[in-house]
Amino acid sequence: MPPLYLPEDRYLDPANRDVALRLYHQVRDLPLICPHGHVDPLLFADPDYRFGSPSELFITPDHYVFRMLRSQGIALEELGIPRVDGGPVESDPRVIWQRFADHYHLFRGTPTGGWLDYSFHFVFGVEEKLTGASAQAIYDQIAACLGRPEFRPRALYEQFNVEVLTTTDAATDPLLQHEAIRRSGWSGRILPTFRPDTVVNLDTPGWRGHVGHLAEQSGIDITSYDRYLQALEQRRGFFGQMGATATDHAALTAYTEPLGQREAESLFQSALRGEASAGDARRFTGHMLIEMARMSVEDGLVMQLHVGSLRNHDPALQAGFGTDKGADIPVASEWTRNLRPLLTSFGSHPRFSLILFTLDESGYGREMAPLAGYYPAVKLGPPWWFFDSVNGMARYFDLVMETAGIYNTVGFNDDTRAFTSIPARHDVWRRTAVNWIAGLHKRGFIDMQDAEDMAQEMAVGLARRAYRFAT
Amino acid sequence: MPPLYLPEDRYLDPANRDVALRLYHQVRDLPLICPHGHVDPLLFADPDYRFGSPSELFITPDHYVFRMLRSQGIALEELGIPRVDGGPVESDPRVIWQRFADHYHLFRGTPTGGWLDYSFHFVFGVEEKLTGASAQAIYDQIAACLGRPEFRPRALYEQFNVEVLTTTDAATDPLLQHEAIRRSGWSGRILPTFRPDTVVNLDTPGWRGHVGHLAEQSGIDITSYDRYLQALEQRRGFFGQMGATATDHAALTAYTEPLGQREAESLFQSALRGEASAGDARRFTGHMLIEMARMSVEDGLVMQLHVGSLRNHDPALQAGFGTDKGADIPVASEWTRNLRPLLTSFGSHPRFSLILFTLDESGYGREMAPLAGYYPAVKLGPPWWFFDSVNGMARYFDLVMETAGIYNTVGFNDDTRAFTSIPARHDVWRRTAVNWIAGLHKRGFIDMQDAEDMAQEMAVGLARRAYRFAT
Amino acid sequence: MPPLYLPEDRYLDPANRDVALRLYHQVRDLPLICPHGHVDPLLFADPDYRFGSPSELFITPDHYVFRMLRSQGIALEELGIPRVDGGPVESDPRVIWQRFADHYHLFRGTPTGGWLDYSFHFVFGVEEKLTGASAQAIYDQIAACLGRPEFRPRALYEQFNVEVLTTTDAATDPLLQHEAIRRSGWSGRILPTFRPDTVVNLDTPGWRGHVGHLAEQSGIDITSYDRYLQALEQRRGFFGQMGATATDHAALTAYTEPLGQREAESLFQSALRGEASAGDARRFTGHMLIEMARMSVEDGLVMQLHVGSLRNHDPALQAGFGTDKGADIPVASEWTRNLRPLLTSFGSHPRFSLILFTLDESGYGREMAPLAGYYPAVKLGPPWWFFDSVNGMARYFDLVMETAGIYNTVGFNDDTRAFTSIPARHDVWRRTAVNWIAGLHKRGFIDMQDAEDMAQEMAVGLARRAYRFAT
């Protein structure tokens, strides 16, 4: 069997290797700061939570993995992805694992391939390369690990040296799991993040139902726009009491527009009657982004904005398997004009912090870095999603840092549902960052002291401060 | 005389050189797969076809060459490019060659310069660098070669080790040259490609004439939209019988929109009456792309789509010298929204294959790779035209492969009119590909076995399978 | 105190270092050609001109510096930036300098940091790294220099080995400083550049006042569009007599549209009445770009076009501190369609030269290089503003040169207000250019003779010829 290939100096340019390794050894074992992600808090609320089979851990929940297999003609049913209609899908995890292993070459040179290999080896002790031939033996080895107590999520949290991990939670979420974690006395730090998209984006399917849920959770009867704002403020306050330091907002575009009180009320009432048009939704959502900035100024929650994903590109996938299944496709994004109204109001406010995430790299140097290099409130989030990769990070460093400097960026976000992939993802960031910093030193931009400071900042300092985590 | 500079390790990064050369030696001599291009089939239909003078071979037919000379103030007339009005142009090939050589420095660091040097040396045995001083001696050397039988196109086809070469042919082409090649018993494999732009893009000048021609060739009286579709299906069938495995479609944008039968008929009838507007043309063409996808599902022809070239930017050039003379300029291209209707219908169909080509690199990572990494039908063609270059390929690998993986790409297309440049172009691709793969290995992404497999795939395997060439 | 870090081989890739240094030593000491910039001619008109304090030299006039400090929460008042309302701001230059030094880490890895370090060391002899601790000693050292005669601008001009330096001057400027320089008999070559934006862009605040000023300066009573053109032609003639070889035009977009005489007159009269709409302004400005091209054909002034900066993004900054204070943010730019009307008229005229500058790098390879590689008149300016950096230049070389070749580019522009930073900026260009050329040689694209020629061209030859400076 060929061995897994994970050389110690991976992802480093040969020309930078000596300095990069020196910096890497300084940051490799620093705690993991996880300020944005999608891990289910249930993993930590239940001290005896057990991951399922290797296939349930690595394949069926991970759209990075199954979208790639699907793109080469393997039906999602063959991979055990549950159908919305409950129709039959493959249920034998060993069969699913074998299919995955038989096609593992598809992940050559991809970030997914790198994360998987890292997890196989450093989390589960696998030594062989995954192939059709080694598939069942590796399955056995991972399955055996998953049965042991040291592979429960809380144990892994400690083994991974996580300092803080945030989840992403609907505005209407009662945060019962977070409550259970706090009450349990466990020392891990799992914090919620306030994500109000379903009640703020008028074009969300079932928006009125979500607003009803918001009314319930907040205890405020939402009959007017004012009460709607109060309900949102109430929930933000509750999230803050539960430890949240940030909000998160997803939008197709960064469009912002301040509406007058009367117009906001009128659009809101239309929406309550189910009569809002697409144009209304765009304007109301654009207005609510400004309102959210205003609330952030008041309650101190850091505001995150993820822009540019066209969700559910394939209606057949959505009908068959639901949302978040790999068919969210980026579109071009504009920031300079779209964010101007919001920034005119709050961009220079000392209490406000706005972290931007994009799927359109053409905006990095053209719009985002110039905005971050001027407005005190604006900072740039790390490469997101398809761009959370060695090349994606290298381009981000190349395109952003000369204009914005590293201090207008916020370090790394792992942004993952896959808890066991978290160390792998941070390792990619830390390696790619020290490689970039080493290149700056090797080419005479910065001295070694600056290089060492920057490596620390990019590994932990920037994220801790940007997300206002007291340490 | 300074020698031609073509070091054995050219285009390889010094840091990757040892591994890259090892991979290169494994793929250098593999057969050339040429699945998309514009070589005239007459070259092979006539066993005694002779290229003209060196200037007629290298300068007058090659808009890559003469657009660059023009950009520095040399009139096309001085280069012997024929005028539409038959007006006087330089007719002495030695004078033209001297002008070209006197300005050969313009090609420093360009792909055209590299292709030319490769052809001079490896095809014609030239040892000196082309300069004003060496011009006439090199002319003599090439002219002497062109007189010899081993420089006939069929002989070169064999010497170049071409496995298959496709041409690009109008839907209305009777494929007489292809017929002659088949009948001649020659073993070379020259296949047609079905390109219906002139009958499908309503805004083609003379569209009605082309439809008339289509009627003639298909033997179907095109009085209705239905009969128009039948005629197209008939021609596709004929191309398939003649060995075609693919179609090709050029459009200013990737816009697709399904029209109802009644609306399609009505637009078609307007067009037949010469009354179609620009908006009608856009919608009808967008509809026909979907129809072509439907036909591909039925007849198995792979569908290629080239998007984003604004043709004939300079009206004076078009009036003076005709089309395809170097003034086709790219525009930004959108894929996510534009292709959605087509992909909703056919993107997951197991018989359908759609290969995308762009002139807007900003879409590689943002839209194209995510689409290819999800839809089974979508694959990405190699860098096209201005981007068929060492840097263009490096950017393509960097931007596409992490998200789509190599298996959602299709290897190389030389896409050239210039038959003698084909080995040079494949050599650039093979070198640039092994350099990228070697970099992945050197930086710890893939082991050597993966590297060797990927090098084979990128040289021949991907192209053979994507274009359904039985080997 | 840690030393300043400026290694001799800075900005060079280790793999290219030997060849790059060899080329660098050939171009390092060549004269500086400065064909586009914003240095105040007063520096040279007054032979006894003295720079103020180190803070007045390096911080308060340089928006690159104070925008970055502002982005991290330091108010412009704390940096001594004068308020429009004359309100109080920090006035002690030592306090300002200390604030700057305390935050000097913000400039790590940025071009501003590199320019500053170069100037500190090579202009003022500073040996220590600027930190909070070394701040006052370095202040003293620079202040002492500034008191000495060899730090007057004329002396520095000679010490810097400037061959020619152009300023940028309003169409209505009487060029009194330039006149004084000429009369003084000093041998320095300071040339004006004709910049008519305030009289050509109808949406300039106070446009009518500027046209009034134009009438005064030209001595032509501007009552009609024809007289307006005459006045512009008169001013261009005057600039030409004063040594100008070029004009410069800034526009939000590259939109061009030829208007008929009647329509131009009618829009002009609306504007004189203060009744022009935003759409009118767009069309008139687009028309005037074509008129300016026509005048360039007639008077031989090279035309520069800077596109894509949205000025004054933050209204509070503009109200508080005025224009050009770091809140000009780029937007996406389109060239292929926008420039077509202008190029249809003049793009192939042998006397016309049009140099394009962008803030949207996505257009480099997609639109700008193809246009420059076809139209004899079109050339590409170097990376501008945020992109005037090591990475910005590397991307420019990577994206432009394969399609356009270096001979359709124009070398370097320092484009700066900060006279003492000029050698630093040219040094970055020369290093980055030789590094790129050395990479071409090392990877087998060009032989050493070509490399040496290209290095000379990129340092001085291209700029001299493109701007028609007789040498």
Concatenated DSSP letters of B185-253: T----EE--EE-HHHH-TTSTTHHHHHHHHHHHHT----SHHHHHHHHHHHHHHHHHTT--EEEEEESS
Q: What is the pLDDT of residue C471?
A: 55
- Residue A241 in this model has a pLDDT that exceeds 70: yes
C329 in A contact zone (CB under 8 Å): yes
Query: A443–C13: do the CB atoms touch at under 8 Å?
Result: yes
From B2, B111, B314, residue closest to C449, measured CB to CB: B2
| Cα(A294)–Cα(A317) distance, integer angstroms | 38
Q: For A447-465, what is the mean pLDDT?
A: 98
> Cβ A408–C72 below 8 Å, yes or no?
yes
Mean pLDDT of A394-416: 98
Q: Is B429 helix (H, G, I), strand (E, B) or coil?
A: helix
Q: How far apart are CA B113 and CA B108, in angstroms?
A: 6
Q: Which residue of B has its CA nearest to A116?
A: B445
Distance CA A446, CA A451 (A): 6
Question: Considering only alpha carbons, which residue of chain C is nearest residue A347?
Answer: C314
Give yes or no for A71 touching B (CB within 8 A): yes
ipTM surpassing 0.95 = yes
- Number of Cβ pairs closer than 8 Å across A and B? 131
Q: Which chain A residues are within 8 Å of C359, Cβ to Cβ? A: 366
Residues sharing a CB contact under 8 Å with residue C285, sequence separation 6 or more, in sequence order: C200, C201, C202, C203, C251, C255
The percent of chain A in helix, strand and coil, each rounded to the nearest 5, is 55, 10, 40
- Calpha distance A298→A307 (Å, rounded): 24
State whether C362 and B332 contact (CB < 8 Å): yes
Q: What confidence score (pLDDT) does residue B1 get?
A: 81
| pLDDT tens digit sequence for A117-131 | 999 999 999 999 999
Residue type, B178: H
Is residue B231 classed exposed, middle or buried when 0-12, 13-18 and 19+ CB atoms within 10 A define those classes?
buried
Determine contact: B19 vs chain A, CB below 8 A. no
Nearest CB neighbour to B374, from listed A9, A129, A327: A327
Contacts of C9 in chain A (CB under 8 A): 444
Q: Do A387 and B369 touch (CB under 8 A)?
A: no
Kindly report the nearest CA distance between residue B402 and chain A, in angstroms.
Answer: 4
Cβ-defined contact of B362 to C362 (cutoff 8 Å): yes
pLDDT level of residue A7 (50, 70, 90 thresholds):
very high
Q: Please give the Cα distance from A8 to B205 (Å, whole number).
A: 61
Greatest Cα pair distance, chain A, in angstroms, is 70
Q: How many angstroms separate the Cα of A153 from the Cα of each of A32, A44, A157, C237? A: 15, 6, 6, 78
Q: Would you call A445 and C71 a contact, using CB atoms and an 8 Å cutoff?
A: no
In A, which residues are within 8 Å of B373 by CB distance? 67-68, 71, 326
Q: What is the C-alpha to C-alpha distance for residues C119 and C126, in angstroms, rounded to an integer? A: 9
pLDDT at residue B138 greater than cutoff 70: yes
Q: Using CA atoms, how far apart are residues A436 and A456, in angstroms rounded to an integer? A: 13
C366 in reach of chain A (CB within 8 A): no
Alpha-carbon gap, residue C375 to A201, rounded angstroms: 48
Q: Give residue A411's pLDDT.
A: 98
Cβ-in-10-Å burial (0-12, 13-18, 19+) of C188 comes to middle
Q: Are B447 and B437 in contact (CB under 8 A)?
A: no
* Residue B345 at interface with chain A, using a CB cutoff of 8 Å: no
Question: Residues B355-377: pLDDT tens digits?
Answer: 999 999 999 999 999 999 999 99
Distance CA B158, CA B153 (A): 9
For B310, residues 6+ apart whose C-beta sits below 8 A from its C-beta are B252, B328, B329, B330, B331, C336, C337
Is A370 within 8 Å of C387 when comparing Cβ atoms?
Answer: no
Interface check B250 vs C, CB under 8 A: no
Give the CA angle between residues A238, A240, A244 to the nearest 5°: 120
Among B1, B108, B134, pick the best mutation site for testing chain C contact (most C Cβ within 10 A): B108
Half-sphere exposure of B55 (CA within 13 A, CB side): 19
Q: Is B125 on the interface with C (CB under 8 A)?
A: no
Question: Which residue in the set C340, C444, C454 is minimally distant from B7, CB to CB?
Answer: C444
Query: Which residues on chain B are in Cβ contact (under 8 Å) with C337?
Result: 310, 331
Cβ neighbours of B315 in C, within 8 Å:
344
pTM of the predicted model over 0.90: yes
Name which of B23, B375, B436, B437 to mutate to probe chain A: the one with the most chain A Cβ atoms within 10 A of its Cβ. B375
**B405 and A107: CB-CB below 8 Å?**
yes
The residue type of C264 is A
Structure tokens at A356: 């931007």
pLDDT at A471 over 80: no
Answer for the pair A303, A296: CB distance below 8 angstroms, yes or no: yes
Closest CA to A193 of A240, A261, A126: A240
Average pLDDT over residues A182-211: 96
Instruction: State the Cα–Cα distance between residues A85 and B62, nearest whole angstrom.
Output: 58
Residue C20 in contact with partner chain B when CB distance is under 8 A: no
As to burial, measured by CB atoms within 10 angstroms (0-12 exposed, 13-18 middle, 19+ buried), residue A24 is buried
Those residues with Cβ within 8 angstroms of residue B227's Cβ, 6 or more apart along the chain or in another chain: B220, B221
Could you report the per-residue pLDDT of A305-360, keeping only the tens digit for each? Answer: 999 999 999 999 999 999 989 899 999 999 999 999 999 999 999 999 999 999 99
C388 touching chain A per CB within 8 A: no
Out of C10, C73, C107, closest to residue A405 by CB = C107
8 Å CB contact of C72 and A347: no
Amino acid at B236: R
Given a contact cutoff of 8 angstroms between Cβ atoms, the answer to whether A467 and A420 are in contact is no
Dist CA A381 CA C440 (whole Å): 35
Does residue B471 register a pLDDT over 60? no
Q: Look at strands C246-251 and A194-195 and give their pairing.
A: unpaired
Amino acid (1-letter code) at residue B254: A
> In Å, how far is B83's CA from the nearest CA of chain C?
17
A376: nearest CB among C2, C70, C329:
C70
What are the distances in angstroms from CA B292 to CA B171, B194, B197, C452?
12, 11, 11, 53
**A23: which DSSP letter?**
H
Cα dihedral: A36, A41, A47, A48 (round 10):
-110
Which site among C4, C16, C69, C71 would you substitute to test the A interface, given the most A Cβ atoms closer than 10 Å to its Cβ? Answer: C71
Instruction: List the single residue in A with minimal CA-CA distance to C384.
Output: A366
Do B111 and C402 lie within an 8 Å CB cutoff? yes
SS (H, E, C) C430-463: HHHHHHHHHHHHHCCCCCHHHHHHHHHHHHHHHH
A93 CA: distance to closest CA in chain C (Å): 46
How many angstroms separate the CA atoms of B138 and B127, rounded? 9
In this complex, is the C-beta atom of B348 within 8 Å of any C-beta atom belonging to chain A?
yes
The verdict on C339 touching B (C-beta cutoff 8 Å) is no
Alpha-carbon distance of C438 to C458, in angstroms, equals 13
Amino acid at B354: L
Q: Which residues of C touch B68 (CB under 8 A)?
A: 373, 405
Q: How many CB atoms lie within 10 A of CB A238?
A: 18
Tally C-beta pairs within 8 A across A and C: 131
Which tokens is B366 given? 């943002």
Closest by CA position to A180, among listed A40, A37, A44, A38 = A44
Contact check, Cβ <8 Å, C68/A373 = yes
Instruction: For chain B, positions 424-453, list CB contacts with chain A under 8 A.
Output: 440, 442-447, 449-450, 453
Give residue C416's Cα distance to chain centre.
5
Give the span between the Cα atoms of B300 and B353, in whole angstroms.
8
Task: Tell me which residue in A68, A362, A386 faces B405 most closely, judged by beta carbons.
Answer: A68
Q: How many CB atoms lie within 10 A of CB B25?
A: 10
Chain B residue with minimum CA distance to A7? B444
A6 touches chain B (CB under 8 A): yes
User: Which residues, given as ranges, of chain C have pLDDT below 70?
Assistant: 471
Cβ–Cβ under 8 Å, residues C312 and C322: no
**pLDDT above 80: residue B218:** yes
Q: How far is CA C367 from the centre of its chain?
A: 22
Phi, psi torsion values for C223, nearest 5 degrees? -105, -10
Which chains would you list as touching A if contact means 3+ CB atom pairs under 8 Å? B, C
Q: Which letter does DSSP use for residue C122 in this model?
A: I
- Do A108 and B450 lie within an 8 Å CB cutoff? yes
Please name the residue of chain A whose CA is at the shortest distance from the CA of residue C107: A405
- Calculate what percentage of chain A has a pLDDT beyond 90: 99
Q: Does C87 touch chain A (CB under 8 A)?
A: no
Residue A287 has pLDDT above 90, yes or no: yes
Instruction: Supply the DSSP symbol for C163.
Output: E
Report percent pLDDT > 70 for chain B: 100
For residue C105, which of A459, A428, A26, A462 has the smallest C-alpha distance? Answer: A462
**A278–B contact, CB cutoff 8 A:** no
